[in-house]
Chains A and B, each alone.
Chain A
């Protein structure tokens, strides 16, 4: 089962524009992570935000977390063609046997 649900499913923007991707989840979490996957490749970790954090930055990435709404957003500023990829949010549950649960992903296309 997949807890995280990303929105939109697909996003197409012009190079230089900002891209905002959203993720909603259902159960309490320890942390939430965003990953990127280029076509035919493995996933690459982008950023991790813990449940007691509200916002985090890493380069052109900004992630927010609202635990009351059980939602997160990933903002990529000044997008580049190289940002074209699938983006997944993954939630880490609470408990000894918690595991990362991935959403279905968002396909981002950045047009040159």
Chain B
């Protein structure tokens, strides 16, 4: 079974530029998560989707961050414009059910560096 796929693995951009991350969850997993992980910290939830609906985006900085999950499968997370403080690892995860009472399967992450 293929795991969660993310691309790109690494991205270096200048501040004020836009950037997008892509995630393909495990087949059949209805729930998709985007997390931000700063160095030396645990992941922090940005947004959770159940199918194509964003059910929890309370931690997503909506002035510059946006996300979509068209057709309830792949998802894209965008930052526009990027700031120096956005440098972090962006993790995508999926799970088979609509609650957090199940394990989550994580992708390898996208390491973003904003210069």
Contact = CB atoms under 8 A, between A and B. Distances in A.
Interface of A: 2, 4, 30-31, 33, 35, 40-45, 48, 88, 90, 92-93, 97-105
Contacts of A88: 42-43
A99 B45 contact: yes
30 contacts: A2-B41, A2-B42, A2-B44, A4-B42, A30-B100, A30-B101, A31-B101, A33-B103, A35-B106, A41-B109, A42-B4, A42-B91, A42-B108, A42-B109, A43-B43, A43-B93, A43-B104, A43-B106, A45-B103, A45-B105, A48-B102, A48-B103, A88-B42, A93-B100, A98-B99, A99-B48, A99-B56, A101-B45, A105-B40, A105-B41
Given A43-B93, A99-B56, A105-B40, 7 more contacts: A35-B106, A42-B4, A44-B106, A45-B105, A98-B99, A101-B45, A105-B42
A88 to B, nearest CB: 5
Contacts of A101: 45
The bracket for how many chain B residues form the interface is 20 to 34
Interface of B: 4, 40-45, 48, 55-56, 91, 93, 99-109, 111
Contacts, number: 59
Contacts of A97: 55-56
Given A42-B109, A92-B101, A99-B56, A104 B41 contact: yes
B21 to A, nearest CB: 13
Contacts of B48: 99
Closest 8 CB pairs of A and B: A102-B42, A42-B106, A45-B103, A43-B106, A92-B100, A42-B108, A100-B100, A88-B42
B104 A41 contact: no
Nearest to A96: B99
A45 B99 CA distance: 16
